[in-house]
Structure 1
Amino acid sequence: MKFSLKSLWRSAALAVVGVGLAFGTVAPAAAEDAKVQYIPLLTYRVGAYASSGIPIWAGIIDYFTYLNKAEGGINGVKLVWDECETEWGVEKGLECYERVKHGKDGSPVPILWPHSDPIAKALLEKATADKIPLLTLNYGPTESVDGRVFPYSFPVVLSFYSEASTAINYIAQVSGGKDKLKGLKIVTLYHDSPYGKETQTPLALLAKTYGFEDIQIPVPHPGNDQTAEWARIRQIKPDWVFLRGWGVMTPVAIKTAAKVGFPVNHIIGGIWSSSEEDVRPAGAVGKGYLAITTYPAGSNFPLDEKLKKYVIDKGLSNLKDPKSFGSVYYNSGLVDAIILTEAIRTAQGKFGNRPINGEEGQWGLEHLDITEKRLAEIGAVGLAPTLKLSPSDHEGGGIARVIQWDGEKWNTVSDWIPADTDLLRPVILEKAAAYAKEKGITPRNADGTTN
């Protein structure tokens, strides 16, 4: 486990403090005077999922760099950061958390990205006790959508339950309506982990409601060989395959599907099987593959011009591969960074233009309202959805789009598709209530107050 990017910390602090630094640090007393906000990055630049993580960090770091260079940070508070390598693993993730949770050089941690579903679940109670909100874009414990029970966990935009529902609703759209779902065979090929199993409950409910056959097939981590699984799928002859993969599992699934003759345009990947890194290794057979996303590919958003001007063209980008500029995962990093920094901005509106701590970051998230107008100001209309959170709703979105690979690039092939929230919400609340009972938690009121 190590920290890196010390030069970025040093340059950001120097720009504000204007004094010499030793070993990339600032004196504790200087941090508040300098108005720097520390954001730790739990990263995985090595291991089975590195190809996914690397462009995500690039998007995040490039957006931070842009804010510092073009806007002087957030209301005059410069952003500083460093990395702690987790390899996506729980043990290293917990080690990283313990190292960063107290902040750095006088600056507190306002919000933490676990950037791993297993790490997010392992940190759930620790982060609550430490009053550090966990921000998990499109992943994390689904029951923590209920902020009354989980005040410090935020599975924003698209929970796994919503992901499953939007996939089924897309199948319904292209089939001619929800009544056409009846009798269909839908296989879910899933990463055999708590992450992969997270959609089993909603899919069972959706199958019961709409009359399709729900068939679940696990793939052992990391998914390098799926011969047996796709041989079974060939025997079942399903109408659709919902692919809930991660890392190497996705291109292996696409290539193996082609070998057994399953049409790739009837495979719809989940949110973490929707990147260029997922389809390029599959080669020509990936053409036509579909996937769910909340951050479409593309580099023609107004924000991209700002990034080019202040970051890319000045040689300050964290990107190692220029082809990844505008990729799905690079854009997901941008959206992640937008949500986190807008939550800090919201908190500053109440607590002052200074570094924000965890309790204040939690308030900022629960009162976050990223409107279409604000997205236009950022230059991210079409890149990110609007997002409004509350003490009782830590998801705020529940919508996604579908993209399709044409052999060279992703094309958006649907409008925003809403999940069946009215159907799924009671199940989520029941799951959260069971957790509260087990842990002896008294849920907050809907407005965040306690009795």
Structure 2
Amino acid sequence: MKFRKLAKALAVILTTTPLTLAVAHAYELVIPGLMYRTGPYAPNGIPFANGFADYLNLLNERDGGIEGVKIKYTECETGYNTKRGVECYESVKGTAPSGALAIQPLSTGITYQLIPKASKDKIPVFSMGYGRTSAANGKIFPWIFNFPATYWSQASVFVKYIAEKEGGLAKLKDKKIALVYHNSAYGKEPIRTLEAASKKYGFDLMLLPVDHPGQEQKATWLQIRKERPNWVLMWGWGVMNQVAIKEAASIRFPMDHFIGVWWSGSENDVMPAGKSAHGYLSGAFHVAGANTRAHDDIKKYVYAKGKGSGDLKRVGEVLYNRGLVAAMWTTEAIRNAIRIHGTKEI
């Protein structure tokens, strides 16, 4: 029942309202993190993991947890490897005392494998802006949540944005749009949407897969130079992003016609290219920077006490904030479950 209660609460997430409660409670709320601080995707995984952990630590230090119940954070290293991700899930799902209240896989491949497992175990999976897009249908996937957006919606937004820049949807006819994508379940997610849009609006779609981890892209960008698409979209991750941006600069592709999904728009992705990355665009579903009350409180209650997960100077980076909002939305769902069902032992 406790997982069913949380799943219902995940559907009614509210804005964070910090509470200061001094009441001690022996019970703990288990929130696992399936993270990757090692491997080829660690430069992107580390800031996300730090933001996630720091926000949970903030709630414990500032508020005494959630509604006065301390959070027990359990991090498991996946290395962005699907097999290890499943092993992590099995190792953390039964963590005492509450059991895993929600799972954040941080990988589309891992999410696909966990959908049947977590559904059987009745544990909510929060694949925030990633994973299986069709899981947004709660009638079929009641335990899977990909709030606040999906890859299909992101692809649709990109097509609409391009149409606006070109002068309307009718102007897309005979235009050429290339998709440079990570050759994995993650990278393939937008293809069906873009194919449907291509058929509907009459633009040509180029599909250009990039194999893991994404360091070899010379042939891809030589093809782009030859075919001369009007726009390039990117579904990348890790080193693939920075290599793509540098390669685009090397062939003088116009950066203001190069758009990345929200996983292709962090400081790590553009800084290696320096000024050549100027004009590059990406999607987003949260703010960047460290100018919010949450950031101020993390500095005050976490880093000032020597309990921060990473470098204070990196607090507020794009992927740090993504981990932060993932933790924020997860904990607000738990707070709602506690309030809705009148028990702190969910």
Alignment TM-score, normalising by the size of structure 1: 0.70
Q: In structure 1, which of residues 86, 92, 101 is the aligned counterpart of residue 93 of structure 2? A: 101
Question: Unaligned regions of 5+ residues in structure 2, if any?
Answer: 1-21
Q: Which residue of 2 aligns with 1:73?
A: 65
Q: Any idea what the Cα deviations from partners look like across 1:406-442, whole Å, max 9, x if unmatched?
A: xxxxxxxxxxxxxxxxxxxxxxxxxxxxxxxxxxxxx
Which structure 1 residue ranges, 4+ long, deviate > 6 Å from structure 2?
Answer: none
| CA-atom RMSD in angstroms | 1.6
Q: Any idea what the Cα deviations from partners look like across 1:41-92, whole Å, max 9, x if unmatched?
A: 1110000110111111111111111111111111111111121111011111
Q: Partners in 2 of 1:162 and 1:229 — Cα distance? A: 26
Q: Which residue of 2 aligns with 1:189?
A: 180
Q: In structure 2, which of residues 232, 236, 245 is the aligned counterpart of residue 241 of structure 1? A: 232
Matched, 1:85 2:85: no
Q: Which residue of 2 aligns with 1:348?
A: 338
Q: Which residue of 1 aligns with 2:55?
A: 63
SS in 2 for 1:288: coil
Matched, 1:337 2:327: yes
Question: Unaligned regions of 5+ residues in structure 1, if any?
Answer: 1-14, 18-32, 357-451
SS in 2 for 1:297: coil
* Bigger relative contact order, structure 1 or 2 (CA pairs below 8 A, ≥6 apart): 2
Q: In structure 2, which of residues 44, 53, 57 is the aligned counterpart of residue 52 of structure 1? A: 44
Please say if residues 16 and 78 of structure 1, whose CA atoms lie closer than 8 Å, have aligned partners that are also in contact: no
Q: How does 1:157-306 map onto structure 2 within 5 Å?
A: 157-306=148-297
Please say if residues 16 and 34 of structure 1, whose CA atoms lie closer than 8 Å, have aligned partners that are also in contact: no
* 1:40 positional shift: 1.3
Percent identical residues: 45
Q: Any idea what the Cα deviations from partners look like across 1:88-138, whole Å, max 9, x if unmatched?
A: 11111111111111122x222111111111000011101111111100111
Q: Any idea what the Cα deviations from partners look like across 1:277-302, whole Å, max 9, x if unmatched?
A: 11112223212111011123111123
Return the letter of the residue paired with 2:339. Answer: G
Return the letter of the residue paired with 2:43. Answer: S
Please say if residues 66 and 311 of structure 1, whose CA atoms lie closer than 8 Å, have aligned partners that are also in contact: yes
Please say if residues 245 and 269 of structure 2, whose CA atoms lie closer than 8 Å, have aligned partners that are also in contact: no
**Aligned residue pairs: how many?**
325
* 1:310 positional shift: 1.5
Q: How does 1:425-440 map onto structure 2 within 5 Å?
A: none
* 1:274 positional shift: 0.9
Q: Partners in 1 of 2:339 and 2:35 — Cα distance? A: 30
Alignment TM-score, normalising by the size of structure 2: 0.90
Q: Partners in 1 of 2:213 and 2:71 — Cα distance? A: 35
Return the letter of the residue paired with 2:324. Answer: L
Q: Which residue of 1 aligns with 2:35?
A: 43
Q: How does 1:13-52 map onto structure 2 within 5 Å?
A: 34-52=26-44
* 1:16 positional shift: 8.5
Q: Which residue of 2 aligns with 1:147?
A: 138
